[in-house]
Amino acid sequence: MPQLLLFALTAVAGALSVFAFAPWRMFWLMPLLLAALAELAERRPASAFGTGYAWGLAAYTANFYWIYISLHHVAGLPSVFAAPLTLLLPAYLALYPGLAVWLSCRMAGRAWLRWLVAFPAAFTLGEWLRGWMLTGFPWGTAGYSQITESPLSGLAPVGGIYLVTWAVALSAGVIVVFARVRPRTRVVLLALMALVWGGGYHLRHRSWTQPVGEPVSVALAQGNVPQSLKWDPQAAQDTLALYYRQVATTRTELMILPETALPLFLEDLPSGYLTMLKGAAERNGTALAVGVPRRGSSENSYYNAVVALTQPGAPAYAKNHLVPFGEFVPLPELTGWLYQYMNMPLSGFSRGGAFQPPIEMAGQKIAFNVCYEDSFGEELIAPAREATLLANVSNLAWFGESAASSQHLQLSQARALETGRYMVRATNTGMTAIVRPDGEVEMVAAPDTRQVLVGTVQGRTGLTPYMIHGDTPILAAMGLLLLIAAVAGWRQRSQSPAYRIY
């Protein structure tokens, strides 16, 4: 097969991966597309890295096209800068599948060893690494494509999203080697898939946590304030009035406003506004949490915070895992000049701290997280252990009417599954939702509308296996599998330089 055709077919397979994730959720597509990647690499192992890189570049460009919307349409960065910067992230992320495919072909000799042992392990470790290196960007991890429609989603409470990712990659490997092995071996492969997929299906019906306390009525505000107006001083009064009306007309035990719903520093809000907002909530018997930036103790520090306004002392959560280029400027001496072309206020937030305890409100212990913090499953484990409810506040107006908000909802569904707790989401433009402990969406507000989503949640207690062990067991297992593949491949090469491929 000509190399150019090989890379073209690989890129098509990668680009189609966008349909495996929300909002399309064709979960069955991801194993097929990874199988296509493996099959094409098998045909030209000398081009293994390029094949994996082409797949990743196309996949991540298709999945994260909305970066261009953020940079150009919302932040105002000229296209001449926005277009190449949009491709910069996929170009970096594609290194990981490229290295995974190269390592699989390099380490293991026989096809079954490459695609059933080495590739699932290497690909899973690559997905974990890209979610950790340079502060991490785990969106688009293959395991998220299985949340929650696939039977494999049942593996999430046991080993987290990376166990699900391994199962997807293993399924792809089975597809590749199935026609290359003897009939008796095919029976073994079918039994293996029945064990993995059937086990996942069985675990989907397993409840790992228990209800605690009484159900709580909750209201989640969706202000639908355009990003172009959000930080406009002329529009600030209208925004404050909007959220006051929503609070004053809502009667639930708990109410949460989105990320930076109040578009001024907490300390700079108009005199008496907080008193009015708090008074309206208390008259309705509502415990109120609001997203608002607040100043720190030092002159140049400020935080992306959630403040429990009606609680004694107004306890707060401050976002810790910040977005590069959006909430902090990496290497400002090299990249700072770009900001003169963009309308991106508050791009220098401070970190809130690695562990912040849950906030007690409305009889619940609520572990808050802000925006894409819910992309990082292991970081949520510590506060979730002490919490009865998870809450995410977000503002995805940066990405317009794109797939970003649906993809983000899928991340929250994974976190609910991993922790066995309700996840409530208050967002500016979508997807405001209530997610059950089994990961299913119980209620969701129509995106790009102004409304308050009202429902009921049940606090939960107890620990899932993933909350006890985190990512360590699956990562250790992946390392062991790679070691086994490397040793077996070395033995094959040492015994016969012309070892068989299959």
Which residue in the list 259, 327, 373, 378 is annotated as catalytic?
A: 259
Known catalytic residue at 327: no
> Which one of the listed residues 105, 319, 373, 418 is annotated catalytic?
319
Residue 259 annotated as catalytic: yes
270 secondary structure, DSSP code: P
Alpha-carbon distance of 419 to 156, in angstroms, equals 9
Question: Which residues make Cβ contacts (< 8 Å) with residue 499, sequence separation at least 6?
Answer: 109, 110, 492, 493
DSSP state of 144: G
Amino acid letter, residue 229: L
Instruction: Note if 371 is an active site residue.
Output: yes
Cβ pair 293, 260 in contact under 8 A: yes
Q: Which of 39, 42, 371, 378 is catalytic?
A: 371
Whole-number Å distance between alpha carbons of 379 and 276: 35
Number of neighbouring beta carbons within 10 Å of residue 79:
11
Distances (CA, A) of 405 to 53, 399, 496: 26, 8, 53
The one-letter amino acid code at 283 reads R
CA distance 284 to 252: 7
Q: Give the C-alpha separation, 304 to 322, whole Å.
A: 9
> CA 162 to CA 146: how far, in whole Å?
11
Angle 381-383-386 from CA coordinates, rounded to 5°:
105
End-to-end CA distance of the chain: 19
Catalytically active residues, by annotation:
259, 319, 371
